[in-house]
Amino acid sequence: MRLRYRNAVEHAACITVLTLIPVLLLLPGVLRGALPIDTASILSLTPWEEARPGGVAADQNPGANLTAQRYYPWYVFISEAGSPLETLWNPLEHAGQPFLAVWRTRCLSVFTAPFYLGDVATALTISIFLKLWIAGGLAFYAARRLGLSTALAMIPAVSFQLCGPLVVWSVFPISDVLPWFPLLFLLSERLALGEYRAWPGGVIAVAAMLLGGEPEACAVLIAVAILYFFVRAWNEWHGAAGAAAAAAVYAGALGLALCIACVQILPYIELLRFAVDAASIPPQVAPSAAGLSGWLLPYAEMPGHAATTNHAGIPLLIMVPAWLSLRSFADVRTRRRCEAVLVPVVLLNVLAFFWPRLREFTALASYLHPEHLLMINGFGLGLVAAFAADEWNKLGVDEIKSTLKRFLILCPLIVGSAATPALWPGLHEGGSAGPWWAVTLAFLLIVATLASLGATVLRPSMRIAGYALALILSIDLLITFFPVMPSTPKAEVFPETPFVALLKKTGGRVTGSAALGQWPLAGNNVPQLYGAAGVVMKHQRDFAERAAEDPLLSRRSGSPLLLLKQEDIQGSYAPIREMLKVEQVFPAGAVLFYDTEAKERAWMAYEVRNVEQYSPDELQSGLPVLVEQGVPPPPLPPDKEPGTVTIEPATSNSKVTVTLDGVSKGILVLADAYFPGWEARIDGESTRVFPADLLFRGVEVPEGATEIVFEYKPTLIIVGLVVSGLGILILLIGMTALVPSTLEGLKATQRWGA
């Protein structure tokens, strides 16, 4: 009984530590009034540059910052929406586009939930805390389930919780996927041993990963888990029947997880049919010879962000030769586990190094980036280090002597191989070696790691080995990653400058300058004809290209506001300069014009041109509206007024209500983007919605109509909800069926422990 309470206290202490680590990481920023996100580059863009602190140089390539251009505006939209149902459609960019369907928006990720409940600043901090906390907790749980002691389980828990992809890329979709990997890894382990009851945890893990918004990361992590399963199970299966049963259960678990995530996957598949760019992510790292020093140096600011991906911690690097030295004395099952972990880790690291060259030979390589291949280093090497420390403490006197002889050869060899790129000037960009402070710190950490191993040789202790290595590892990773954690003062995160305030005050959609494509105005809830988030449909791209050639087309975009730069006024918009009224001239050189001849957001067209197929070349500002497969109305009689069209105040992102008064038979053009799933009802009767002017929505309006209601009801969302609901139901039924046997197992464990 006393032992049980002691174990419970020790577990509680470890969980407390794993809770405090992310708190301590985030607390300094909270106290400074800063957000854990990097959006400083927007202060180099015209709408926000008035807020750039004096003496701070402008970013030469602000559009390359995905956090500012994409992720923060998405978080703002989700927070303003307040419900997943309101994230189906985003009216802020490109005259509107599907939002939930863009997988990377992470509308259904567990870590997005705080944004539906509170303001962006608070939700962002809570979300990152949850990622780090769940990552550490699940790694600790997986290690304990693998038979490691509480102390040793802290090694993979800390190495995974503080790994670069989670700490440095905490707002990237990869950080929503990675925390769940230990559960998937555990599924592979349990099924390899024939313990089929573990499947619900794997289903939950894979479903949560799939909803995390990074399909490439999901694919790599699932592939790693399957590879581990086959390598681990090679010597564990007993007969073909056991192998087939384990593989079938694994396939069933993955299939059920896919069903649960169908509400996200099916809309994404539909999006890909129309998208020319679905928010793809460029490579974040480019491993090189100099990057190998990231294995050793606790220093993140290196060429190619080497330490961000490679640096898993010096104690883990030291424990690799330790494991190789004692491998022949290790327990057979432990040896099989370590080798099954090392196979994917080594394979992916080698592939990552050669990945840029592989992209020239295979199309598959263009979808994955080196960071996807390096993201399991923290967890995988943490497990190897923990198992090595476990076996180190079990060695006998003769075994220790043999192990130390090998270790004294292998350790300098491996550490020296990692140190060479760090110290050799010719391998670094600019021909400089160092930094020497990092080399010195690395040396001290190596000494501390070797001292902890030496202490346990003299007096074997799992607790000393586990907690000492976890402490050294924590210091190493905190020194490496804390200084490069993203952080921006709250006042500089999309500040509401006079420029932005005026755009918001006008209340309409902004169009005009091609520079709008680089201005993420959605971060301030300003709707625009273009967008910076990287999601572009074919018809949106075609309209933008035609508008660049024929600027008068922008008059049909539903906004009388034209935001132009000096080069626009003197260039493509020069022919209509006399028709524009200056509203505001900004210090940066941008001018906001009011176009009195611009079309309203909703208007009646009584002259149209009909085409049978999508034809951007036929779109011209001097010709009537271009409709696709519509019925041209009769001309408006000379004595007949065109009637009035009014858009009612919005109550939902996915619903637009238009009231009509005195209109004749014609085509109503709503200058919001067309996309499959939009339905319309005229005075309660359903009618067809078709493209107008390539980009917008059109409906045929009968004489005397009074109201048109547009509503976004994508079929695949409904199908996905049904399939996901059935998947969750099957999961719950399966978990319920496992309850009796699970309780029996717990009772047996308690009897054995007593």
Summarised one tens digit per residue, pLDDT across range 682-704 is 999 999 999 999 899 999 999 88
Q: CA-CA distance, 589 to 564, in Å (whole number)?
A: 9
pLDDT-derived band at 63 (thresholds 50, 70, 90) equals: confident
Say what percent of the chain tops pLDDT 70. 90
pLDDT at 431 over 90: no
pLDDT at 338 over 50: yes
Residue 305, pLDDT score = 47
Residue 321, CB-side half-sphere exposure with 13 Å CA sphere: 23
Residue 613, pLDDT score = 74
Residue 748, pLDDT score = 46
Residue 677, pLDDT score = 94
pLDDT-derived band at 282 (thresholds 50, 70, 90) equals: confident
pLDDT per residue over 352-396, tens digit each?
878 777 777 766 667 788 888 889 999 999 999 999 999 999 888
pLDDT-derived band at 553 (thresholds 50, 70, 90) equals: confident
pLDDT, mean over the chain? 86
Burial string for 559-576 (b: 16+ CB within 10 Å, else e) reads bbbbbbbeebbeebbeeb
Token pair 């290790």: residue? 330
Least confident piece of the model among 187-201, 209-223, 563-577: 563-577
Q: How much is the average pLDDT of 121-138?
A: 96
Residue 173, pLDDT score = 94
Residue 289, pLDDT score = 59
pLDDT at 564 over 80: yes
Residue 740, pLDDT score = 64
Q: CA-CA distance, 418 to 155, in Å (whole number)?
A: 21
pLDDT at 749 over 50: no
pLDDT at 746 over 50: no
DSSP string of 620-677, one letter each residue: -TTSPEEEES--PPPPPPTT----EEEEPPPSBTTEEEEEEES--SEEEEEEEE--TT
Rounded to 10 degrees, the C-alpha dihedral 249/254/259/265 comes to -170
pLDDT per residue over 704-741, tens digit each?
899 999 999 999 999 999 999 999 999 999 888 876 65
Task: Between 753 and 485, name the one with better pLDDT.
Answer: 485
Q: How much is the average pLDDT of 246-273?
A: 94
Does the pTM of the predicted model rise above 0.95?
no
Residue 28, pLDDT score = 93
Token pair 């080196």: residue? 370
